[in-house]
Amino acid sequence: MTYSEKVLHDLKIKNPNEPEFIQAAEEVLESLAPVVDNDPRYQKTGLLERLVEPERQIMFRIPWVDDNGEVHVNRGYRVQFNSAIGPFKGGLRLHPSVNLSIIKFLGFEQIFKNSLTGLPIGGAKGGSDFDPKGKSDMEIMRFCQAFMNELYKYIGADEDVPAGDIGTGAREVGYLYGQYKKLTNRSEGCLTGKGLSFGGSLARTEATGYGLVYITEELLKDHGKDISGSRVAVSGSGNVAIYAMEKATQIGAKVISCSDSTGYIIDENGIDVEAVKKIKEVDRKRISAYLEIHPDATYGEGSIWDNVTCDVALPCATQNEINKEQAERLADTGCYAVCEGANMPTNAEATQVFLDKNVLFIPGKASNAGGVATSALEMGQNSIRSSWTFDEVDAKLKGIMINIYYHMKDACEQFDAVDNFVVGANIAGFMKVADAMMAQGIV
List the x/- string, 202-221, binding to ligand NDP by CB under 6 A: ------x-------------
What is the rounded CA–CA span in Å between residue 62 and residue 74? 5
What is the rounded CA–CA span in Å between residue 158 and residue 87? 6
Closest among 275, 238, 234 to 256, alpha carbons compared: 234
Q: Looking at beta carbons only, is 261 or 389 nearer to ligand NDP? A: 261
Helices (H) then strands (E): counts for the chain: 17, 12
71-82/122-128 β-pairing: antiparallel
List the x/- string, 345-374, binding to ligand NDP by CB under 6 A: -----------------------x--x---
What is the rounded CA–CA span in Å between residue 103 and residue 95? 11
Per CB under 6 A, the list member of 76, 86, 126, 167 interacting with ligand NDP is 167
- Residue 164 found at the interface with ligand NDP (CB under 6 A): yes
Per CB under 6 A, the list member of 318, 351, 381, 426 interacting with ligand NDP is 318
Size of the site for ligand NDP (CB under 6 A): 24
Candidates 104, 125, 398, 432; catalytic one: 125
- Shortest Cβ 45–ligand NDP spacing (Å): 31
- Shortest Cβ 183–ligand NDP spacing (Å): 25
Is 221 an active-site residue? no
Stretch that binds ligand NDP, among 217-225, 232-240, 350-358, 382-390 (CB under 6 A): 232-240
- Residue 74 found at the interface with ligand NDP (CB under 6 A): no
Residues in the chain: 443
Three-state SS letters, 152-221: HHHCECCCEEEECECCECHHHHHHHHHHHHHHHCCCCCCCCCCCHHHCCCCCHHHHHHHHHHHHHHHHHH
The footprint of ligand NDP on residues 254-283 (CB under 6 A) is 259-262
Q: Looking at beta carbons only, is 316 or 434 nearer to ligand NDP? A: 316
DSSP assignment of 301-350, as one string? ES-GGGT---SEEEE-S-TT-B-HHHHHHHHHTT--EEE-SSSS-B-HHH
Q: Looking at beta carbons only, is 8 or 202 nearer to ligand NDP? A: 202
Per CB under 6 A, the list member of 230, 237, 346, 347 interacting with ligand NDP is 237
Q: Residue 75, by phi and psi: left (phi above 0), alpha (psi -120 to 50) or beta?
A: beta
Give the interface with ligand NDP as residue ranges (CB under 6 A): 164-167, 208, 236-241, 259-262, 316-318, 321, 341-343, 368, 371
Instruction: Write out the catalytic residue numbers.
Output: 125
